[in-house]
Amino acid sequence: MKLVQQIGQLLSQDSKAPALPNFVLSGTASDPNHTARRMQQRAIATEMIAVALLYGKCERRYHATTYTLLDKTLKQTPYEKFLDKLRGLRVIAQECPNGLEVTSVYWAWDLK
């Protein structure tokens, strides 16, 4: 089974999944497909973003919120066995009336 399918299966069984905020992929006014294109270029799936939003370290920076998956945030979770694959995933999001607007995603290589 592929990594994304395994993570999706774990998400469907995760007890914290109901706490997952609604999120939409967006970009900027000049580049509305920014996030989707970056996800494709960097091999990041929406299931991985959901894990980052649930378990990532949350920090407010400038006018956005970042969620970063670290070793200590994934320990003792159902996703611990994917630690090497998920470590360093960073999601940049802004709050909007419907939940969260994911504006960018990338791998923080200094954490890998």
Domain ranges for the chain: 22-111
pLDDT at 1 (0 to 100): 61
How is domain 22-111 classified at the architecture level of CATH? 2-Layer Sandwich (3.30)
Q: How far apart are CA 112 and CA 103, in angstroms?
A: 22
Q: What angle do CA 19, 1, 75 make, to 5 degrees?
A: 45
Whole-number Cα distances in Å, 78 to 15, 26, 30, 54: 10, 28, 38, 12
**The two structure tokens encoding residue 26:** 């967006």
Q: Tell me the per-residue pLDDT of 5-47, one tens digit each, with 9 for 90 and over.
A: 999 999 999 999 898 889 989 877 788 888 999 999 999 999 9
Mean pLDDT in the chain?
A: 90
Give pTM, 2 decimals.
Answer: 0.91
Which has more pLDDT, 61 or 93? 93
Q: Are 52 and 68 in contact (CB under 8 A)?
A: yes
pLDDT at 32 (0 to 100): 85
Q: Are 100 and 94 in contact (CB under 8 A)?
A: yes
Q: Tell me the per-residue pLDDT of 53-91, one tens digit each, with 9 for 90 and over.
A: 999 999 998 888 999 999 999 999 999 999 999 999 999
